[in-house]
Structure 1
């Protein structure tokens, strides 16, 4: 029985040791598999990183990577890994030496390039930045070489492509020339000066329709600038003169009014004195006539009273003349006041017209960009306060550049006028239309529900697409693309404008005569 117990005990111990051995073997197996995975990953990365550096190294790494894909004993690969380690060390020494030489060549090439004549200042700065950035890393030096090659290419283009550059410059200058002429014409149209300066600007605008060389155009630019400065100075002097005249006239009127008031008071006093004297004489006559004495005895008294009455009448006539002169002076003052009122009203109306011309686009009569920016900021604050729907749309004329290039700028201006007028006819009184750029219009539709705003924008597209345009005996149909959005969440007016631009870009990329809403 004891022997059986001892045997059972020994078997139990053996079983425990066997279980422990199995666990150890399983752990070792898992560890081995993990190591194989890590080794496989390392070899794969080495193959990718070292590819193209050394052909023998490439072959050996690829061979080991392939064998790791198959069940194999890692210990058999150790000698081959040692060979790869030796090759890698050798290659590292070679790379280090090549990197030193490469760094030296970069400095030599950079110094050579820096001695190039007429090298632009910005290019010199870029070259200096490349040379000052020493690095022991091969990748950094490769980047420096690429940068150095770019600088070489720029230098060669500056020095050797003179004829081609000149031809390109001629084309570019020609395009710039036309754009400048158009901008000057638009500027002269925007300016609202009267008199000689305005007439001269109109003459210059007509000259811009002729073919002008660069020198003539430059001269015209200075003429326009000088006329604007002179006209501004003239307007300022005219305003100052107007104010001085108004002040002088008001001072004169104040003086005359004060004198008239003094004269009126004096006349009133004299009139009171005459009335008192006349009353006194009348009373005396009544007393004399009431007596029963002979009138012959009263003759001297009556004669004296008559003389006194005559004197009073003469003095009264003189007072009437002074009153008439005073009335004429008052009438003259009143006319002056009316003239001042008229002058002030005319000047105020002119200022109002100038203010409107500053807010309105002179071609389309829609509001201009500056006015739009003020209005949308105002609407933004109202939207923040009252939280009503606030849609904004950007309307762009499709292929407008082709109209200008094919039929001329006058045809383009005519088209813009008609388009702006038709857009305005599709809007309500509370809507706000502004010319945002050459062929773009911004539209604000405050407190407009979804159905109404969609209907308005659809009506705009349909109305313009149905307009009959005719240029140079050619019938032409014009359409517009519209990008629209709403104020939402934490939007401000800048964000909304950017979103309308994106919406318009999406609409134009989809074709012509499109409407796209984005949020």
Structure 2
């Protein structure tokens, strides 16, 4: 009996060591997969950041991504990484030289514009400020180029107005015309628009190469600006469509992830069942050892128990394979979600940058009505698809007409700017604010629960009421009224606008400085 006990004890120790070895191997395998995922993520980000800069670099990055998908030793990819590092270093030098060339061209073009006669003082100050602001990056250089083109547009408009009785050729000498022609050609060459806008830009460039009279040159410059704006709008709409697709992919990944969680729970239950059966067999063995002094008479039962152990071992191995496959699927989903999230954030930032340039209210520096209509329609489509909570609120400044009448429109404009900035600071990054009318603002708050939206709107109302205004040596207290509602049922943007207006009227009729919901 003591021999059997020793055997059972040794088997138990060996089983524990086997389990520990399996856990160690699994940890090492998970760590290796995590490192591969991190490397893949780095290569993906590098590909996005460097895309289009150098054809050879794009090819090498694509090949490296393909290699990472193969089950190979990572150390064998070090030579490829060294090649990519050399290409990136070379591209950095090229970018630095290109930035310097652009900086020189901006300075040269600005100096040419400064020599144009008849420009107003404000435009000259804007031009001087632009030239004094040195570029710190290629992106900053592009922004300065856009600003310079805008100054050229303003100059051309002013010159066209001031030349009613003067021939245009007397206002612009041949050197300036030549400079403007070259700059327009260079701008068109730098643009990469597809479709009809791209074809029209190429046609304009061909005309510039042949040579055009001064009046036609001005018309072509304005046409180029219009085409750039139209193409930018088209790219923004394409980006919004891309975001909708990415959001759909995220929803699908979330659904499959939930399914994997369910599978993981089922595996956990199966593992628990195996452990219970194993415990039962161990108890049976211990009981048999105590009850049978002659082990030969107990051999048939031991044989059956051994078979059961073998079955349990096979089932356990099958469970381990399922767990391994599940872990790999979850790791793939995690990497996919991370990539999609980064792409979504990148496109969201690009859209925000475009909107801030084209859809800002000139006084309050929040979005205007055009931006509001566009965003409301976009959020409405998302609500139809996902049915997430979508809150819309309308804010009105109480007794704003009296502020204008008592302290002047300058004081009213100052109050509008401060209140708009305060409301914006109280909102989350995903929220949206626009100037709806002269003294009204509309905000859109997607994906927010009842408690948080109520707290947020009350915080806006209370914060504005505490702002310290002072006009004509007098301390002035300004309050706001808020009406809010939610998208429900068959609501459309028009229904929501009407309902928020009704809620706002109720808030103002209730004594002002109030916040009222209408469902």
> TM over 0.5, yes or no?
no
Give the TM-score band, short-chain normalised: 0.3 to 0.5
When Rg is computed on C-alpha atoms for both structures, the one with the higher figure is 1
TM-score, with normalisation over the residues of structure 1? 0.35
